[in-house]
Amino acid sequence: MQSLVLLVVLMGAVVAIAWLVLNPHPPTFRLDSLSLSGLPNASDISSPPLKLHIRILLTASNPNKKLALAIQDVDLFVALFQHGHRLPLSSHNDTLPSENYISKRGHRALTVVAEAGLPPGRGRRMKRLYQFTQGSAVMLVRMKVTVKFMHGYWPSKQATVKVGCGHLTIGISPSTQTGELKEGGKDCRAGFA
């Protein structure tokens, strides 16, 4: 019995030391494009909660020389800033259709599609926020990504990575109720949670 316990403790120590030696780094992310549809217009603002559709295209890169990784799911949080105020958007948990495998030093394109709820606009301040006539707004995108690190036959290691893409200028088209990322792609900050 003691030898079994000692064997389990020894195996755990070997695996922990191996992961320390392999030194996993979080994947890096680049936001390539972002599009919005379903933006409210002046007649929509007193309606029941509205749905804003968000589509984000990302490139995930694996900086590890010795480890492959798989991106398992993404929790997406968004905020839209208009007229100096934060437009309240509800957050969603968005699971990617399958594990997205990225080889050592590899890259992978990912698409995250979500809906965010906009509460009805009440009062003069909220009505002003929902009038997308300026032609642009600023958006903040944050993600919590579950990543699985893999090396040969070793047991995999799972970690959570926080990703932040801030100060994204979104060009708004009030006539079509859509928005697109104005500038080209943007590198995001990423680190272990």
Provide the 8-state DSSP code for 38.
Answer: -
Distances (CA, A) of 168 to 37, 80, 149: 16, 9, 30
Q: Is the pLDDT of residue 47 over 80?
A: no
Of 162 and 20, the structure prediction assigns the larger pLDDT to 162
In the chain, domain spans: 25-192
Characterize the bridge pairing of strands 50-61 and 107-118.
antiparallel
Q: Give residue-wise pLDDT tens across range 146-190.
A: 999 998 888 888 999 999 998 899 998 877 888 999 988 899 999
Tell whether pTM > 0.95. no
Q: Give residue-wise pLDDT tens across range 65-97.
A: 999 999 998 888 888 887 677 775 755 556 566
Of 16 and 123, the structure prediction assigns the larger pLDDT to 16
Provide the 8-state DSSP code for 156.
Answer: P
How many Å apart are CA 108 and CA 71, to the nearest integer? 10
How many Å apart are CA 85 and CA 132, to the nearest integer? 13
Are 77 and 56 in contact by the 8 Å Cβ rule? The answer is: no
Right CATH for 25-192 from 3.40.1350, 3.60.70, 1.10.10, 2.60.40: 2.60.40
**Percent of the chain with pLDDT strictly greater than 90:** 36
DSSP string for 61-126: E---SS-EEEEEEEEEEEEEEETTEEEP---EEE--SS-EEE-TT-EEEEEEEEEEEEPPP-HHHH
